[in-house]
Amino acid sequence: MSSYLEYKVKTNQNYTTIGISYHRQLGLLAILSNTENDEAQILICDELGEDLDNSGPNICKGHITSFCWHPTQRTLAIGTNSGQIYIWNGGLITALDFVHEETIVFSKWSSLGGCLVTGDQTGIIIGWKSDSRGLLKMSFKSNIGANLTNNISFRAGKAATDISNLAKMAVAGDQSALDIFSSWRPRTTTSHGPQTVTSDNITFYCATVSELYYFDEDGEFSIVLLPKSVILRILCHDSKDVCILVCKDLTVAYYKCNKNGSLSEVSKVKLNGLKEDLCIIWAGPSLLACTTNDVSIRFWDIESGNSYVLTAPISYTSSFPKQTFVNISYSVEKGLLCGATNVGNIIIWRFEEETVDQWNIHGSCKISDTIKYCIWSPLNLAVHAMNGIYILHEHSLLASYKEDVAIVQTSANDLNVFYPSINESFSFNSNLQVIGLALNKEHICLWNGKLISVYKIQSKEIPAVVGTFNCDVQEACIFDRIVIVAENSGKLQIRTFQGTIKQTLDVEAPIVCLTLNTCYLAAITLSGVVHIWDLNRREAKLMCKPKDITLNIDDYGEAIQLRLNSNGTKVSFTAANLNLVPMPRLYVWDRDLDTIYVKHFEKGLDVDEIQYNDTRFIVSHYWDTNEPNLLFCEAKSIEKTENQLLRPSLYTLSNKQKKKKMIGSSVILSMFFIEQKGLKIQDIIHCPDQFCTILGLDAPYYITLCKHNTNTKTRVKRNLMKEFEGIEDCNSDIRAAIINFVLLSGQVWLKCV
């Protein structure tokens, strides 16, 4: 399960927030509020709720009654109770020609943004299109002569061209590769999921209390349905030409849309026993989800007609007061479904078709507020609550090991400190929502993105704060009594524990990865250049000319993980390709020879009669703290050749009884770097079920993070290398001799082959 960090957005408490909206591609958050002076405020923030520079707040006259982001552009349309339409397009608020005379009940962009449609209470509907200068001009004006509701839904655009099975498999493989690198997402760009529509459709349906209307491209309209009950919701699918109508008598009808806009009923269901204020949404290619009167969600697959219920864990169902879901929200990009309850609990599920349960809990959290609704951005979840706006950011819990000290994050603020050699540990609570950590034998450095705190650690004693300072930190390392900080601004600075800048290191672009081994520091930038410094001096000294690895790797896109050996002569890294999909390779730059070696894992592993034929990705790797040619890697597979009988899928098309189970299985590789030859795998170590990840290498031990057998709590474990069985207490000379002997054996083997 993932942890979710909570950020409360700073808003003016004197204003009444009436709505929030995330831009699905750009991640901009719009917060819209009304004042007591018949004015409205539009606040534009980044994904974590921080004010954008020069974005506002923007003030417009009247109270906001509708709003909608352009699907691709930095443009927000706002309607008010005075009938005025305002546009924010990255700068100031501008008003469109005053055409409406009454309260705007809806403003909606078509799927690709080719048309904006606005409607008011009196039944006047206006279509707006951009002219050659990008300005919105009225393209049609229609009057249905009846009071409109706020229901409007555009028909689906032309579906993206279907791709071959081979291409589909490639896309699925790319996503699986990204999934196993759960804590990494590229800084170069953000993926927004596959494009499902390639052409715009500016025809739409809207409704009065008792009639459903269809509008064509020219604003011509007709009544296509006279339902027996009031229409509560119109749901057209994004990529399928179908329409769902939800009525006040709790009937849900499924229609196919004909070319002329008329509707052909396919099926209809009655949601007995539910309330009118139910929340119903699309939650997959053909799957509808709706809230019930408790903490369960009802699903209906419109293709197969099947339905089923997803219920929250018993801890939510047996609580007092009784909990019910007040809102659900689905992220198309991430495949996550969020359910928010009346007491502030939020449960997040991920759909996994290859598992028996299919909907598995991905994370949960609690907001100390009364929740109105939640919305997804490409990366985060925003919560509109009674007393404020909250951003929930998914965070992979952290763990690190250095010099016989390990630290493991257990929640946003709580950490466990382990001393593996003496099997002791203790816990402590920080005042930060920790998003990053670094440590050495005596100090821990924690940061939340804006603030860094340094603690002094001693066995079984609560760590004491020795320094705190403000810094816009992306990544940091700690050495002796200094902190090396890579800032989001692109600067790389050496600071004291109190934040005083001692030195600024020259880099040509923002840092992507930062690593430290003994007294050597390495960094790789967004432009693909590697820098190495020696910190064991009064000032950090550059050890060699920076290396541009893009000149040697044709399909290099961005670094994922960077490591440095104990004497600073070898730099290893994993990377994503130009499409920002992780590559199953491990690269090593030999600084002395200025040569980049690569180890491929596309065809699996074959060492001493141990064979793994599936593609492996190096998700984590570490050089030994003393021996410069020894490193251990965690190699993870995205495929397991195991067919499992599953119940028919209610997410995509039904009747798929067998599916290849895509799960990650890890092995640990013991590897040597052999001069002028590159990497050689010495041993393959099978990982037990309790294994989480590898944390470090300190021969004769490698350090792993594991789960306890009885619960989900983790522990840090020292594992003895097989070459040292029976002599684990040897001194440094014997340890070096054994490793050199194994290394020499590998060189002889290479010569023989």
pLDDT tens, position by position, 389-436: 999 998 888 999 999 999 999 888 899 999 998 888 899 999 888 999
Task: Please classify residue 543 by burial: count the beta carbons closer than 10 Å to its beta carbon, then call 0-12 exposed, 13-18 middle and 19+ buried.
Answer: middle
pLDDT at 318 over 80: no
Contact by Cβ (8 Å): 184, 242: no
pLDDT score at 632 = 97
Other residues' Cβ atoms within 10 Å of the Cβ of residue 296: 16
pLDDT score at 355 = 56
Q: Which residues pair with 537 in a beta bridge?
A: none
pLDDT score at 166 = 40
Strand ranges of the sheet holding 58-61, from the earlier edge strand across to the other edge: 16-22, 29-34, 39-45, 58-61
User: What proportion of the chain, given as a percentage, has pLDDT over 70?
Assistant: 88
pLDDT score at 748 = 46
Q: SS3 for 486?
A: strand
Whether the CA torsion 288, 291, 292, 294 is positive or negative: it is positive
Contact by Cβ (8 Å): 398, 436: yes
- DSSP class per residue in 408-464: EE-SSSEEEEEETTTTEEEEEE-SS--SEEEE-SSEEEEE-SSEEEEEEEETTEEEE
pLDDT at 326 over 70: yes
Torsion of CA 723, 727, 733, 738, to 10 degrees: -20
**What superfamily in CATH does domain 1-143 come from?**
YVTN repeat-like/Quinoprotein amine dehydrogenase (2.130.10.10)
Mean of pLDDT values over 276-293: 92
Other residues' Cβ atoms within 10 Å of the Cβ of residue 539: 11
C-alpha 320/C-alpha 672 separation (Å) is 59
- State phi, psi for 662 to the nearest 5 degrees: -100, 100
The residue ranges of every structural domain in the chain are 1-143, 271-395, 602-641+662-752
C-alpha 41/C-alpha 12 separation (Å) is 10
Q: SS3 for 14?
A: coil
Q: Which residues of 311-326 are buried (b: 16+ CB within 10 A; e: fewer)?
A: ebeeebeeeeeebbbb
pLDDT at 599 over 70: yes
pLDDT in tens, 485-495: 999 889 999 99
**Among 236-240, 385-389, 663-667, which stretch is predicted with the lowest mean pLDDT?**
663-667
Task: Please classify residue 43 by burial: count the beta carbons closer than 10 Å to its beta carbon, then call 0-12 exposed, 13-18 middle and 19+ buried.
Answer: buried
Q: Determine the residue type at 621.
A: H
pTM comes to 0.80
- Give the DSSP letter of residue 357: S
pLDDT at 673 over 90: yes
- Give the DSSP letter of residue 44: E
DSSP strand pairing (39-45 vs 29-34): antiparallel
Structure tokens at 81: 């109770």
C-alpha 498/C-alpha 617 separation (Å) is 39
C-alpha 235/C-alpha 302 separation (Å) is 13
Q: What's the CATH fold of domain 271-395?
A: Methylamine Dehydrogenase; Chain H (2.130.10)
Triad 329, 197, 557: Cα angle to 5°: 85
- Which span out of 128-142, 509-523, 721-735 was modeled with the highest average pLDDT? 509-523
Which positions ≥6 away from 169 have C-beta within 8 Å? Answer: none
Based on its alpha-carbon atoms, the radius of gyration of the chain, rounded to whole angstroms, reads 29
- State phi, psi for 690 to the nearest 5 degrees: -80, -5
Average pLDDT, the chain: 86
pLDDT score at 506 = 94
Which positions ≥6 away from 678 have C-beta within 8 Å? Answer: 588, 597, 598, 599
C-alpha 207/C-alpha 215 separation (Å) is 11
Report residue 175's pLDDT band, with 50, 70 and 90 as the boundaries: low
The yes-or-no answer to whether 1-143 and 271-395 have a common fold is yes
pLDDT at 233 over 90: yes
pLDDT in tens, 30-80: 999 998 888 888 999 988 888 876 555 688 888 999 999 999 999 999 999
Give the CA diameter of the chain: 93
pLDDT at 753 over 50: no
Mean of pLDDT values over 451-456: 96
pLDDT in tens, 181-217: 766 767 764 444 445 545 789 999 999 988 999 999 9
Tracing tokens 């590697």 back to the chain, one arrives at 530
